């Protein structure tokens, strides 16, 4: 049973690390791309949030069913 908590932890850690990396990269803006950066950052954040949720649900279904 402890193995599954490790899997949950790894999913969360990897997803959060990707999200933090994306946010850190987006802070270095070029003047040409400044207007689209906010839109792209919102889309990437939404993708990470959905993927984290779907991954946790899928893992929970796999473990408990």
pLDDT at 29: 63
The model's pLDDT over 1-48, given as tens digits with 9 standing for 90+, comes to 567 788 888 888 998 898 888 888 777 766 666 666 777 888 888 999
Token pair listed for 42: 């919102």
pLDDT at 24: 83
Domain ranges of the chain: 2-64
Q: Which band of pLDDT confidence, cut at 50, 70 and 90, is reported for residue 50?
A: very high
Please state the φ and ψ torsions of residue 37, each to the nearest 5 degrees. -65, -40
pTM for the full predicted model: 0.50
3-class DSSP assignment, residue 65: coil
pLDDT at 35: 65
């Amino acid at each position: 049973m402890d193995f599954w908590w490790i899997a949950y932890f790894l999913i969360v850690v990897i997803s959060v690390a990707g999200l933090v990396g994306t946010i850190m990269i987006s802070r270095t803006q070029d003047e040409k791309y400044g207007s689209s950066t906010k839109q792209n950052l919102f889309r990437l954040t939404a993708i990470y949030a959905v993927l984290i949720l779907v991954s946790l649900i899928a893992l929970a279904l796999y473990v408990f069913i």
